Structure 1
């Protein structure tokens, strides 16, 4: 993409609140809102940090290999060194990692919570988990399946009558991204609104309507395409069946049972994060990153030199992500969550086994990408990745070797377009499993 193509229209974003710490003289800030969940973040080729991360190996030198019988090596010094090296090379202001195995926990932090600030990153910092939220929405739906209140083969029209072709789209196809429904976060309408109205409060119905207004990508079941529209519809179905807000459903069904006291789906009007928290930063803006998150060569050179700084996205209203990406958590809570996701405890044994077996190869040009019922498989780890403007995270759990990996960064994406947390996590996986 040329520099001309990426000319900014920052609109009211420069007036974004909570942008403490003005850049030093002589530096340039790219003001943005950015939903990197634009086309790149969620379509088949997308970033989304959700599947684009299923990459396992995209940035670290090949897919993570190994069988269930392969040796696992958890060397704390090596993992910490790789983490620090990559965090520095990716130019993230701050990052944190947690690797858990039968040998114990290996944790590390890097940098600061605010660009130009002095508060070091801590393991207690809150951050936006992005598409990791999908695993939570999917779990609620599967709990309802387990209770006999909904079935995987049910047509969507049974619960939401206004979905086009809803008689032929099943609940299972929403869960595993095979409905064919277009992705609302890939629309120009949403990305323009995010750039021009960063504090706008979105309703789930508005989000679904944007996706449903677009032409479907394919007939239900004929292909695979990552779409946030699927997960928003699942959230609406959960609310209809439970008669409560999704935030309350998450709290009662997921967070309280697991003791996730630092995790929540905030109200649509709440764009803040609880203390302590890390700020989140990104380059460029939503519309310009619909095709690529990598900066043009001239801007990339200035970013590497430190004369082009990312903008603070901390308090941009995340209601546009809702059931597909709105949760806030900490690294410790996210580790507990992904261990339950991959190891069991929230579903009965039979349904848990079926969920893990649901992951299958999807048509994305990445090493062995697999996706299932609101869950991804990345190498030998079950989990997901997540990204919102300024925040990238990776969570995975290997129930065979009992290995957990969680990483977050407060820059997303990197100036060169890579998802920083997933890039770091991939390197850690290679160190642990071999490559």
Structure 2
């Protein structure tokens, strides 16, 4: 959880919603809106055999002491599935593609999609100031809805506060109201003036969730079900009520090393604890039932690997928005830093190299979903450890390695 929603799991690769930040980040829908200028759709990729994929996943899992991992890779040349390890440490029930997991910041793609649907319906505009909908936002007259979507508002990230992290350690069943999360954020100065930089902040997406509720006049779980999960047939995907800390069966246990406060300023544990984890003398904590309300619209959704394949393909393929708005969404991604390997981020969606999608990290689970619409490649990865003792995200590390093996340099 510590790196969970706090750092840009989608913008660092692989280490969280970001392949060590975003290896993050899908088959293609009939309404393709992403650029399609390659004369040969599969010319840019190389096939990977199941044995090689198994070996890659096993290497990363063993290095990071991962109990269980699931990988689904689909290319025009075939589909591959890897199911490594078990759902519970020291037990023998294997993980499966139908297991339910917390998907963390992948939820942001859902909240962002709902907002864009409302834009499409004329109920809100990307240029609207957030103060039109929430009068309590600092400098809200100068922060637009678009800047909330693309993480350029400058608003402080509430998951970086000691108050939240202490509470997660001391009272993991606490039921957080969205307005409580905003109070934590607004008590801190912004990172920069609106539009003058990029900073991944869960505060942006919590605000968008509240705005969606006010415009659609129903709770966010119902909005997601009626607008997203139902129409796409995502029968194993859900957004829990704030009081609900359970995971539907079947599900693995989720684990993390150390505490949230120990990793508040650095996701890596102290070297002695890292060594103990590697030696097997330090066990991770079972955090499966930590109440995910602290992530809410930014990270509380639940899904399966199978459903995430459908979701990311439809998200990128254009099943949820009209063609023009979908093209604008994919075109909204911008570099998050001057680093050539950095991910790009846009309207509730990220991109690393050829793959659009996102990554997530919360309460013992790390995940990645990505879809390359030009080459029709989809990748979904999850692990039931987040993060590793060294501060990296196991699932995003796996995803990065898989992507590197598919796309020749």
Q: Deviations over 1:47-66 (max 9, x none)?
A: 87223644449xxxxxxxxx
Query: Is the Cα–Cα contact under 8 Å of residues 16 and 360 in structure 2 kept in the other structure?
Result: yes
Instruction: Mark the CA change 1:41 to 1:287 in structure 2 (over 3 Å): closer, same or farther.
Output: farther
Instruction: Mark the CA change 1:48 to 1:419 in structure 2 (over 3 Å): closer, same or farther.
Output: closer
Tell me the residue number matched to 1:424.
Answer: 398
Tell me the residue number matched to 2:175.
Answer: 201
Tell me the residue number matched to 1:247.
Answer: 221
What is the Cα deviation at residue 307 of structure 1? 1.1
Q: Deviations over 1:206-225 (max 9, x none)?
A: 11121122101111101110
Instruction: Mark the CA change 1:74 to 1:396 in structure 2 (over 3 Å): closer, same or farther.
Output: same
Instruction: Mark the CA change 1:215 to 1:52 in structure 2 (over 3 Å): closer, same or farther.
Output: farther
Task: Measure the CA separation in 2 of the matches of 1:297 and 1:211.
Answer: 31
Instruction: Mark the CA change 1:232 to 1:48 in structure 2 (over 3 Å): closer, same or farther.
Output: farther
TM-score, normalised to structure 2, is: 0.92
Query: Is the Cα–Cα contact under 8 Å of residues 266 and 326 in structure 1 kept in the other structure?
Result: yes
TM-score, normalised to structure 1, is: 0.87
Compute the RMSD of aligned alpha carbons: 2.0
Q: How do 1:332-351 and structure 2 match up within 5 A?
A: 332-351=306-325
**Structure 1: runs of 5 or more not aligned:** 1-33, 58-66
What is the Cα deviation at residue 107 of structure 1? 0.4
Residue 227 (1) aligns with residue 194 (2): no
Instruction: Mark the CA change 1:287 to 1:237 in structure 2 (over 3 Å): closer, same or farther.
Output: same
Task: Measure the CA separation in 1 of the matches of 2:372 and 2:382.
Answer: 18
Tell me the residue number matched to 2:373.
Answer: 399
Q: Deviations over 1:89-108 (max 9, x none)?
A: 22100000000122232101
Query: Is the Cα–Cα contact under 8 Å of residues 383 and 395 in structure 1 kept in the other structure?
Result: yes
Q: Structure 1 segments of 4 or more deviating over 3 A?
A: 37-48, 51-57, 67-70
Instruction: Mark the CA change 1:55 to 1:346 in structure 2 (over 3 Å): closer, same or farther.
Output: closer
Query: Is the Cα–Cα contact under 8 Å of residues 38 and 290 in structure 1 kept in the other structure?
Result: no
Q: Deviations over 1:240-283 (max 9, x none)?
A: 00110001000000001110000000111111100100100000
Task: Measure the CA separation in 2 of the matches of 1:321 and 1:46.
Answer: 21
Task: Measure the CA separation in 2 of the matches of 1:348 and 1:80.
Answer: 39
Task: Measure the CA separation in 1 of the matches of 2:135 and 2:231.
Answer: 33
Query: Is the Cα–Cα contact under 8 Å of residues 38 and 191 in structure 1 kept in the other structure?
Result: no
Tell me the residue number matched to 1:73.
Answer: 46
**Structure 2: runs of 5 or more not aligned:** 25-36
Instruction: Mark the CA change 1:382 to 1:46 in structure 2 (over 3 Å): closer, same or farther.
Output: closer
Instruction: Mark the CA change 1:91 to 1:330 in structure 2 (over 3 Å): closer, same or farther.
Output: same
Instruction: Mark the CA change 1:150 to 1:53 in structure 2 (over 3 Å): closer, same or farther.
Output: farther
Larger relative contact order, structure 1 or 2 (CA cutoff 8 Å, min sep 6): 2
What is the Cα deviation at residue 365 of structure 1? 5.0
Tell me the residue number matched to 1:121.
Answer: 95
Tell me the residue number matched to 2:69.
Answer: 95
Task: Measure the CA separation in 2 of the matches of 1:267 and 1:299.
Answer: 35
